[in-house]
Chain A
Amino acid sequence: MSSSTPLLAVDELSVVFGGHGSDEVRAVDGVSFTLEEGRVTGLVGESGCGKSVTSLALMGLLPDRGVRVGGSAVMQVPGGTADLLKLSQRRMRDLRGSQMAMIFQDPLSSLNPVVPIGRQVTEILRRHRGMRGSAAAKEAAELLDRVGIPDPERRLREYPHQLSGGMRQRALIAMAVACRPRVMIADEPTTALDVTIQAQILELLKNLVTEEGTALLMITHDLGVVAGLCDDINVLYAGRAVEKAPRAPLFAQPTHPYTVGLLGSIPRLDAPRGEPLTPIRGSINDNIAWTRGCAFAPRCDHYTMECLQGPPDLVAVGAAAGVEGGGGSTGAAAEHVHRCVNPVRGADTADRSAPESPAAVGEDEEAQG
């Protein structure tokens, strides 16, 4: 385990869809993060914020035409390092499934309906591990067993529609872990499942990470999943990271209004009776271009004139203004960054205090800097 060099370092990843000029859509706009062995990194945000596109770009699964991918994603592969975004199609095919695997959102539509489960598991064994015949079948049964599918020999002969939702997702996970990949990407793996099954699947993923030392990139809109699983969290909005931090500081002291909003949208069991949830109003479509200001401003309760004067930068929390009562070591503060000129100071006190005054100071300093 080398903690110094990350397993996968994504730097300034950008994905642009569509033609030229005004038609194009910047789905991902300069996202950076790292994946390390045995750690879970979360990408959090609403649908449409660019998190799935990020994962597809890393896997090289975006369509060939009409897409431009920029930045770099350097991964440690056998025999050195490679930039996933620049590798040839053929080389990527070799890496996919063996070095990096992906688990998708909807387990039913992600499985081929007319091919038995067994075949869908053994084909990856055959492709990357050269196993065939009864050896492959035996290994496939073991894999299903390992992800908690009872009676694996029978299940191998069945078709996806004969399995329950949780079982299908387990089968997909079995395929993903079949070749012990070093990087695993899970794109909303529990969204389509019942709550009880969700917990089981998350537990399974957690065990796989600890046992195998796999680096897991967890993509979700569900902060509950993040809280239980992720070590590092990136909150995305409209294609850019708006806040990133290790789990503890993010939940203890969210600073970006969007993060605060996401946390406010979660029902809590310990909340007083009758307290309404505070959803984020509007939808992800109500944004403005990042080049003109903060994309979240139209939905933000905290936005000021400053927010609309050009793109905000990603800065360390507390770097611009003194963090009042913020505490935490300097290291933690350096790991905790956000993209906001008027951040929330302590989520719980947001409504009581009057943030305008100190924020205005911060804005001024930033504008000068």
Chain B
Amino acid sequence: MPTTPSSQNRSESREGTKAPEPADSRDGHTPLLGRRAAKVDRLAELMGRREEGGHGAGVWRTAFDRMRRSPMAITGAVIVAVFVVVALFSPVIAPYEPVAQTWGDEVFPNRSVFVGPRAENWLGLDNLGRDQFSRMVIGARQTLLVGVVATLVGFGVGALLGGAAGAAAVLGGRWGRQVDNLVMRVIDMMLALPTLLLAVTVAALVGPSLTTVMIAVGVAQVPIFARLLRGAMLSQGSRDYVLAARALGVRKHRIALVHILPNSLGPVIVQSTLTLATAIIDAAALSYLGLGNPDPAFPEWGTMLADAQRFLSSAPQLAVYPALAIIVTALGFTLLGEAMREALDPKLRK
């Protein structure tokens, strides 16, 4: 609280200009200065207890502090951390080769003979006698890859489109508004295509593969990112500090890059976290539609789930493991994203 010290100084000086205080009987022995110091000390002591917090910490710092106390954020962060660690170190963690049909002679799907969890295969065997646990662990890596690449595609293209439209609209004058208008029409067009159908279209174009899924899911996220960043930039662009920067003669691209863009990134970063969840779910849906990676060497949760549907009534665990993995991972990213959104949104802080 910056007012306190300065105001005290002022009151000090003001009292100093007054007629000299007559040393009254009570404080007769105390020197004048000492009395005043005691007063100030006493006041500081009484007020001192409320001195924490409220200092000009950055938006992100305060948001981080708030998230550290939110059970939602902690749960999300733990899930995401576990998922990322498993995905990164999957070859080390997986006990067996994901493609090796080592126990192929123990499983007979057409006779409904499956092998559940046991000491050597923690999650049992899949329909071809492969170790389910190893496939799940290797699958985490594929899922993370799909999620991250798809999000990067969506973020990259979307931010480029949205950022260009936003910057043009804010700073480009009449010409800029035309550019903005054109870009927004394209984005509206993409928005009119339901996400999954957009992904299906892309996937049908490129043919089934992991790349297809990544691009398809990413492209479907482009309009969301673009709209979000543009909206944030437009609202930032009408702020006084932009006007001030323009009045000072700062060049336009510098205003856009140094002032507007960094202040508009909050919602986009939140959206990226949420998109990771969406991407994982959408990827699973595409795999189910037969547009995913057909290569068994790279098991992916969505493909595993799609494959396991056939045995759902006889061996539900085959579907439940990848489904749970997808749900929990998506939940982790969603919780983290929502907590971040809440922490950053001034309206929700109370």
Question: Which residues from chain A sit less than 8 Å from chain B, CB to CB?
Answer: 281-283, 285-289, 292-293, 297-299, 301, 303-305, 308, 354, 356-357, 360, 364
Known: A292-B46, A301-B11, A305-B38. A364 touches B26 (CB 8 A): yes
Bound-state Cα–Cα, A343 to B28, Å = 22
Known: A356-B22, A360-B24, A360-B26. A308 touches B4 (CB 8 A): no
* Those of B32-53 within 8 Å (CB) of chain A: 35, 38-39, 42-43, 46-47
Interfacial chain B residues near A283, Cβ < 8 Å: 3
Give chain B nearest CB distance to A17 CB in angstroms: 12
User: A305 and B7: CB pair below 8 A?
Assistant: no
Q: Is B105 on the interface with A (CB-CB < 8 A)?
A: no
Q: Is B29 on the interface with A (CB-CB < 8 A)?
A: no
Nearest 5 pairs between A and B by C-beta? A288-B46, A354-B19, A282-B3, A308-B42, A281-B7
User: A303 and B39: CB pair below 8 A?
Assistant: yes
Interfacial chain B residues near A356, Cβ < 8 Å: 21-22, 24
User: B14 and A301: CB pair below 8 A?
Assistant: yes
Bound-state Cα–Cα, A292 to B47, Å = 10
* Central interface residue in B19, B39, B43, by most chain A CB within 10 Å: B43
User: A298 and B22: CB pair below 8 A?
Assistant: no
Interfacial chain A residues near B38, Cβ < 8 Å: 305
Interfacial chain B residues near A303, Cβ < 8 Å: 39, 43
User: B39 and A282: CB pair below 8 A?
Assistant: no
User: A298 and B7: CB pair below 8 A?
Assistant: yes
Known: A281-B7, A282-B7. A308 touches B39 (CB 8 A): yes
Q: Is B251 on the interface with A (CB-CB < 8 A)?
A: no
User: A286 and B4: CB pair below 8 A?
Assistant: yes
Bound-state Cα–Cα, A288 to B11, Å = 17
Q: Is B10 on the interface with A (CB-CB < 8 A)?
A: yes
Q: Nearest A residue to B46 by beta-carbon distance? A: A288
Q: Is B1 on the interface with A (CB-CB < 8 A)?
A: yes
User: A286 and B21: CB pair below 8 A?
Assistant: no
Q: Nearest B residue to A363 by beta-carbon distance? A: B26
Q: Is B18 on the interface with A (CB-CB < 8 A)?
A: yes
Q: List 8 A-B contacts (CB under 8 A).
A: A282-B7, A286-B1, A298-B7, A304-B39, A308-B42, A354-B18, A354-B19, A364-B26
* Central interface residue in B1, B10, B15, B42, by most chain A CB within 10 Å: B42
Interfacial chain A residues near B15, Cβ < 8 Å: 301
Bound-state Cα–Cα, A90 to B215, Å = 60
Interfacial chain B residues near A289, Cβ < 8 Å: 46
Interfacial chain A residues near B4, Cβ < 8 Å: 282, 286, 298
User: A308 and B19: CB pair below 8 A?
Assistant: no
Interfacial chain B residues near A285, Cβ < 8 Å: 1
Q: Nearest B residue to A308 by beta-carbon distance? A: B42
User: B35 and A288: CB pair below 8 A?
Assistant: no
Interfacial chain A residues near B42, Cβ < 8 Å: 305, 308
Residue from A301, A305, A308 in contact with B35 in the complex, judged by beta carbons closer than 8 Å = A305
Q: Nearest B residue to A361 by beta-carbon distance? A: B24
User: A281 and B18: CB pair below 8 A?
Assistant: no
User: A288 and B26: CB pair below 8 A?
Assistant: no
Give chain A nearest CB distance to B171 CB in angstroms: 31
Q: Is the interface of B mostly helix, strand, loop or mixed?
A: helix
Interfacial chain B residues near A288, Cβ < 8 Å: 43, 46-47
Give chain A nearest CB distance to B5 CB in angstroms: 11
User: A299 and B24: CB pair below 8 A?
Assistant: no
Q: Nearest B residue to A287 by beta-carbon distance? A: B47
Bound-state Cα–Cα, A3 to B47, Å = 44
Known: A356-B21, A356-B24, A364-B26. A293 touches B46 (CB 8 A): yes
Give chain A nearest CB distance to B262 CB in angstroms: 30
Interfacial chain A residues near B19, Cβ < 8 Å: 354
Bound-state Cα–Cα, A286 to B11, Å = 14
12 A-B pairs besides A297-B43, A354-B18 with CB distance below 8 A are A282-B4, A286-B1, A286-B3, A287-B47, A293-B46, A298-B7, A298-B43, A301-B15, A303-B39, A304-B39, A305-B35, A356-B24
Q: Nearest B residue to A357 by beta-carbon distance? A: B22
Bound-state Cα–Cα, A293 to B47, Å = 11
Interfacial chain A residues near B14, Cβ < 8 Å: 301
User: A308 and B43: CB pair below 8 A?
Assistant: yes
Q: Nearest B residue to A299 by beta-carbon distance? A: B7
* Those of B43-79 within 8 Å (CB) of chain A: 43, 46-47
Q: Nearest A residue to B48 by beta-carbon distance? A: A288
Interfacial chain A residues near B43, Cβ < 8 Å: 288, 297-298, 303, 308
Bound-state Cα–Cα, A107 to B198, Å = 47
Q: Nearest A residue to B36 by beta-carbon distance? A: A305
Residue from A281, A293, A297 in contact with B3 in the complex, judged by beta carbons closer than 8 Å = A281
Bound-state Cα–Cα, A335 to B260, Å = 59
User: B39 and A305: CB pair below 8 A?
Assistant: yes
Give chain B nearest CB distance to A237 CB in angstroms: 16
Give chain B nearest CB distance to A273 CB in angstroms: 23
Give chain A nearest CB distance to B40 CB in angstroms: 10
Give chain A nearest CB distance to B2 CB in angstroms: 10
Interfacial chain B residues near A301, Cβ < 8 Å: 11, 14-15
Give chain A nearest CB distance to B208 CB in angstroms: 50
Bound-state Cα–Cα, A288 to B47, Å = 6
Give chain B nearest CB distance to A184 CB in angstroms: 31
Bound-state Cα–Cα, A360 to B21, Å = 11
User: B7 and A357: CB pair below 8 A?
Assistant: no
User: B35 and A286: CB pair below 8 A?
Assistant: no
Interfacial chain B residues near A292, Cβ < 8 Å: 46
Q: Nearest B residue to A292 by beta-carbon distance? A: B46
Give chain B nearest CB distance to A86 CB in angstroms: 29
Interfacial chain B residues near A364, Cβ < 8 Å: 26
Give chain A nearest CB distance to B246 CB in angstroms: 31
Q: Nearest A residue to B44 by beta-carbon distance? A: A298
Bound-state Cα–Cα, A45 to B170, Å = 43
Q: Nearest A residue to B54 by beta-carbon distance? A: A285
Q: Nearest B residue to A283 by beta-carbon distance? A: B3
Bound-state Cα–Cα, A139 to B42, Å = 62
Bound-state Cα–Cα, A151 to B3, Å = 51
Give chain A nearest CB distance to B19 CB in angstroms: 5
Interface string of B127-165 (1 = CB under 8 A from A): 000000000000000000000000000000000000000
Give chain A nearest CB distance to B281 CB in angstroms: 36
Q: Nearest A residue to B21 by beta-carbon distance? A: A356
Q: Nearest A residue to B42 by beta-carbon distance? A: A308
* Central interface residue in B1, B11, B19, B38, by most chain A CB within 10 Å: B11
